[in-house]
Structure 1
Amino acid sequence: MPGLFGLMKIMKETSISQINIQSAMDIMANSLFHRRDYVLQTTISEVHGFGIGRISHPLGKGPSWPSAYDVQVGRRNVFLHGEFSKDCAHVLGSVSLGNLQISAGEVLRKLEGYYSLVFVHHDFQSIILGVDRKGSEPMFYLEQNGFLFFAPEVKALLAVCRGRVEPDPEAIPLFLSCGHLLGDQTLVSSIKRLPGGCYLKVQENIIERESYWSFCPGEEVGQESEENLKGELEELLKESVGRNLGSPDKTMIFLSGGLDSRGILAGALLFSNNNGRLLNTVSWGIDENIPGSDAYIAKQISERFHLQHRFFQRKADKYSEVFAETNYLVDGLSDVAAFHPYEFTILKEVKEMGFDRVLRGDETFGWHGNVYSSKEALAKVGLRSIGGIHLYSKIVRPKYFRDWSEGGAAAMARVKSKIQGMEPNDAKDYVYFTHRLQTYLHSCAAYKQVLFEHRNVLLDDSILTFLRRVPWHLRLNKNLYEKAVLALYPPLNSIPFAENSGLEDWNGILKKESVLQSFMQEQLEDGNSGIWEYFDKQAVNSLFKKILSDQQVHSWSSSWGVWLRRKISGGIFSAFPRHSERIRAERFQSVISPYQALFRLLVLKNWHETFIEGKRKGS
């Protein structure tokens, strides 16, 4: 995908003859070139053991690209991919090469936008790698044989990695239990992700990761009234949409029936002077006519405001092909390929229609539900280790279950230490931003970035800064954001919010004769896969058979009875919220749906065969 990639010598005693810089750059570029229309720019200095490249969309080349001579004579030293949300030339122009190691954090705090960048000292020995506050332009890195390699995709680093590649014993259990990783993890033990708000400092044989900014919701709460905060948020939403909309005829807005995309649409309608015909929107699902679904409500919105709207049907008839393609693009960093395999196919059709930019509604206005402890905060966001999940103790081989339980617990202990002492709902929103939005949701963005200039309007830096002043009770269930959206464009209030996603019932599809069921059976019967080093093949197949035999019986006990029990338990839980959250958090530590476990195993198996076994065979 587009972004910065390269390598640099970090150990003075390292001989530059150990590696062919040009060859390594070519290998990484080939791994990242998913489209023929990408633009490639490189700067290479073999004598200094340095190479850096930028892959861009044809209309998003960005600022001028420094040459090796520019860097050596101190003329220019900033390599950038992405764009700033305001003029930052004066900030970058003031970067002092002499004290860059000291001033890097201060400089990065002044920058706003969607970017990754590299600062290089004129002697090529002092280097800073940084990403924006959201980590929206991904950067992964690998230290190897006295060199630092970096790229926007893990596969590019695996392509130049020498020696044996090992799965990360702290990341694998998080993937299996949560469906995604923590903010700095990949599935490979030697490769890390640079989280949002962080930078790498490379100097004198040392690589250090430092933070220049952290998401701290509610940290600066004052005496401001709710009405004033709502009014300010309205203005910030309008300004962010205006900055990110680009050319409306070339920009596609993702539209659901929910609150997040409605805020973007409200700003876009104001920006277009209430002329919805200038705006392009898209939604998808299994059927546009499922009452109350995202696509159904999106259709109502588009008709009401005369939008140029498209609907695409998600299909499961080519599951194996589209699953493998998506999992390859996202490097197995989440389970998105298993549950949303057809989206990339849809997006390729959108690209063929001539669109260059997409606006998406990821946000951090407040994760749903009140919590009363840090344990409940982690459970609400969906973070846990594998150790307490009984199902995995049955299908993971004992040695690895022990190792992964310990590794996952160590990773979770670091997360817990970061939120110690926080108000529980502040902790919940911090963890959501740091470890779910930047991992799961960013992996969903990855295959969109392959095709488009991708912008998350609701994660504008001005909004993130504003949220420091918003108390948790106004963030609870997106309370303040919802009021701001409804006030921003009142005509939208006439249309209800969606009641269901209108997406696949994967558990039900798996139980029926289907392409998915056949593919799953084929994968689980594959005796040649290296994944069975970690999992008990017989136990996994027994679990699969149990799922198939556990057919729903449509009776009073399985439909009306289930509804009634949920209604009763919901009423009891509402009456005793503290008690209910404690019960939910405890239960969350040990329970996972069998089909979810199988889908995540499917992702892990495909990733292992593609990148680990493929790498070993190549070596």
Structure 2
Amino acid sequence: MCGIAGWVDFARPVDRDVARAMTDTMARRGPDAEGVWIADHVALGHRRLSVIDLEGGCQPMTSGETPGSRAALTYSGETYNFQELRSQLVSLGHSFTTRSDTEVVLRAYLQWGPALVTRLEGIYAFAVWDQDKEELLLVRDRMGVKPLYYAETPSGVLFGSEPKAILAHPAFKAVLDAEGLRDILSVAKVPGHAIFRGMREVPAGCTVRVNRAGLTEDRYWQLEVADHTDSLERTVHTVRELLESVVEQQMISDVPLCTLLSGGLDSSSLTALAAQVSRAKGQGRIRSCSVSDPDLDGTAGEGANEDHIYARLLAEHVGSLHSELPLRAPDLLDPALRSSVLKAYDLPIAKGDEHASLHLLFDIVRQHSTVALSGECGDEVFGGYRWQRQEDVVLSSTFPWVYEGRQNYQGNDGVFTPDLLAKLDLDTYERDCHSAAVAEISAGDRIADPTEARYREVTYLALTRHAQVLFDRKDRMSMACGLEVRVPFADHRLVEYTFNVPWAMKSFDGREKSLLRAAMKDLLPEAVAQRIKTPYPSIRADAYNRTLRERLAAVILDGSSPLAPLLSSATQARVRGQGAAALESGMSRAALETTLQLDDWLRTYDVDVVL
């Protein structure tokens, strides 16, 4: 993976120093090399993390100066089928000077133009400047695993892998408006929204074209409701075949690779498959890494987390070289770490301990590996969440994870002013976002059974909204450490196939992730294969929550805080009288975390609040 940035300005020359400044904001995404390319009205920047063809593949990459085939590319990600595409392109008369997938993508554009996106398999975000057309093409992968942001200007566009790249351009000012604050405080991830006013995220499976006529956003991939005609036996077999193919394909690397092993069904399946591939190719033992600590709780208060026990069991079973990172509450509260997490994410977050733990883990993993396989999207694909299985939750008229328990900022104990909460109207906002999301697939028009249609909608919401939050988290925390994380369960071929499997078949034995369990049972220890899903481990130490309350109380009492105009006078009065004890009820940990992060974010990024 890498970091890309740049801009197009059809009214004036671009500035190399500004392009370099935009690119350098993402130095940690690409510690191995950097480059800036300037021509006419465009600047392309690149920070490289070398994974394939370490000597070649430097960027931005250009095609030469032959009229009709002049193009330049800045690219982040991995095109897993680049070797097959390379062979096709050679047969069509193209020649190559590197072994990189970057050159394959560039040559594919020269051959097929914007239609190249339908041929790519992988996780990627890139920008191609077509000199002959005077047109910029921005592309994001089908599932939105790799990020790409842009901001339209009166005479062109700014773009970057992260918001910080766009913020480094003098033409863009960080402003938070009501829509952005709704996105921060709600649990509805809206494709395209980017929090900062005037900035957008290229939606998953979309392209953006920019030329003198303006800007056009187009979708090139969409999940579609269709009939599933395979038997249960055939479906289980196909899932296994797809997983084996995907994992083998995603293990292509010229640098050390490991797996992130929690001991759950998803990560254990990937580790077992990766170990199988490694043995078959004579590559030795696969590395695996996990987190371990008694301060962590993966069972919502019902006892200490036991993930590390199952991770060790799986590692021993498949013979991986396993390492553990011990975490304790004080580690995750370290101000320097919290600041690093915020600057990596560019946005306030509700689960600070999870992001901090990932940042620490990835920092350790990067000492021995440059690439890691992770189990993100396994729950979304196979139905692992409780809110995907509990019928009353599934049949609710909003996002099921909202119905199950949104962290509510409203009410007498709310930290924000009643007028602000009324203006934001988060409940209506989330309902409207939900209605817009389910309208994208119209499952009820294709599926006669309304309950099955709703299960299909919930799967769609999980894949297009919920998974995006996980992809963002994993990308930012890993790339802040110069680590590339790949997500085999998000491969679009696996997603397309499993999406239309009826819910009764997905849960044929009455358990979560029945299909995956059946497909992988011969490769896993019985205890791991039959293990009940547990949530992502979070800190359960009382001292952690107490510290959050103390820090937020200090913010509330700080008249210079940028949050001050937004805070409830009643809450301010209670904190003045009772101190941090005033926050012991009425605010969840997620609310504490988000509010603290919001204050820090407004200060750090010098954000103007215009509500």
2:76 is equivalent to residue 81 of structure 1 = yes
Q: Which residue of 2 aligns with 1:566?
A: none
Contact kept, 8 Å, 2:393 with 2:403, in 1: the verdict is no
2:290 is equivalent to residue 283 of structure 1 = yes
Q: What displacement does 1:362 show?
A: 0.8
CA distance in 1, matches of 2:515, 2:433: 33
Q: What displacement does 1:70 show?
A: 2.5
CA 1:283–1:602: 2 relative to 1, 3 Å: same
For residue 418 of structure 1, give the secondary structure of its aligned residue in structure 2: coil
Q: Which residue of 2 aligns with 1:114?
A: 123
CA distance in 2, matches of 1:243, 1:417: 34
Per-residue CA deviations over 1:398-455 (Å, capped at 9, x if unaligned) read 4432332278355455335335544111111111111121134322331212321221
Counterpart AA for 2:340? E
Which of 146, 149, 153 does residue 144 from structure 1 map onto? Answer: 153
2:454 is equivalent to residue 438 of structure 1 = no
For residue 168 of structure 2, give the secondary structure of its aligned residue in structure 1: helix
CA RMSD of aligned residues (A): 3.6
Which of 420, 436, 446 does residue 414 from structure 1 map onto? Answer: 436
Q: Which runs of no fewer than 5 residues in structure 2 stay unpaired?
A: 90-104, 297-302, 445-452
Q: TM-score, normalised by structure 2?
A: 0.81
Q: What displacement does 1:291 show?
A: 6.4
CA distance in 1, matches of 2:243, 2:58: 31
Contact kept, 8 Å, 2:407 with 2:588, in 1: the verdict is no
Per-residue CA deviations over 1:342-364 (Å, capped at 9, x if unaligned) read 33123212212x21111110123
2:21 is equivalent to residue 27 of structure 1 = yes
2:513 is equivalent to residue 478 of structure 1 = yes
Contact kept, 8 Å, 1:333 with 1:440, in 2: the verdict is no
2:189 is equivalent to residue 181 of structure 1 = yes
2:569 is equivalent to residue 529 of structure 1 = no
CA 1:350–1:95: 2 relative to 1, 3 Å: closer
2:184 is equivalent to residue 213 of structure 1 = no
Q: Which residue of 1 aligns with 2:593?
A: 599
CA distance in 2, matches of 1:82, 1:597: 34
Which of 12, 20, 34 does residue 16 from structure 1 map onto? Answer: 12
Q: Which residue of 2 aligns with 1:344?
A: 359
Counterpart AA for 1:365? V
Per-residue CA deviations over 1:274-309 (Å, capped at 9, x if unaligned) read 899712111114239986611222122223443211
Q: Which residue of 2 aligns with 1:303?
A: 316
Q: What displacement does 1:76 show?
A: 4.7
Contact kept, 8 Å, 1:252 with 1:281, in 2: the verdict is yes
Contact kept, 8 Å, 2:189 with 2:469, in 1: the verdict is yes
Counterpart AA for 2:183? L
Q: Which residue of 2 aligns with 1:357?
A: 371
Contact kept, 8 Å, 1:293 with 1:499, in 2: the verdict is no
Q: What displacement does 1:516 show?
A: 4.4
CA distance in 2, matches of 1:550, 1:501: 26
CA 1:415–1:186: 2 relative to 1, 3 Å: same
Counterpart AA for 2:321? Q
Q: Which residue of 1 aligns with 2:232?
A: 226
Contact kept, 8 Å, 2:259 with 2:373, in 1: the verdict is yes
Question: What is the aligned-residue identity percentage?
Answer: 17
CA distance in 1, matches of 2:573, 2:269: 45
CA 1:384–1:233: 2 relative to 1, 3 Å: closer
| 1:313-352 alignment runs, 5 A limit | 313-318=326-331, 319=333, 320-332=335-347, 334-352=349-367
Counterpart AA for 1:150? F
Per-residue CA deviations over 1:89-140 (Å, capped at 9, x if unaligned) read 447656468x95xxx3x43122111212223333352222111112222100
Q: TM-score, normalised by structure 1?
A: 0.80
Counterpart AA for 1:528? S
2:269 is equivalent to residue 263 of structure 1 = yes
CA distance in 1, matches of 2:591, 2:304: 30
For residue 41 of structure 1, give the secondary structure of its aligned residue in structure 2: strand
CA 1:506–1:379: 2 relative to 1, 3 Å: farther
Q: Which residue of 2 aligns with 1:202?
A: 210
Counterpart AA for 1:40? E
Q: Which residue of 2 aligns with 1:557?
A: none
Q: What displacement does 1:490 show?
A: 4.7
Counterpart AA for 1:243? Q
Contact kept, 8 Å, 1:139 with 1:193, in 2: the verdict is yes
Q: Which residue of 2 aligns with 1:366?
A: 382
For residue 64 of structure 2, give the secondary structure of its aligned residue in structure 1: helix
CA 1:294–1:384: 2 relative to 1, 3 Å: closer
Q: Which residue of 2 aligns with 1:579?
A: none
2:206 is equivalent to residue 190 of structure 1 = no
Number of aligned residue pairs? 556
Contact kept, 8 Å, 2:438 with 2:457, in 1: the verdict is no
CA 1:145–1:307: 2 relative to 1, 3 Å: same
For residue 272 of structure 1, give the secondary structure of its aligned residue in structure 2: helix
Which of 44, 49, 71 does residue 38 from structure 2 map onto? Answer: 44
CA distance in 2, matches of 1:550, 1:327: 23
2:439 is equivalent to residue 424 of structure 1 = no
Q: Which residue of 1 aligns with 2:531?
A: 497
Counterpart AA for 2:436? R
For residue 476 of structure 2, give the secondary structure of its aligned residue in structure 1: helix
Q: What displacement does 1:201 show?
A: 1.8
For residue 34 of structure 2, give the secondary structure of its aligned residue in structure 1: strand
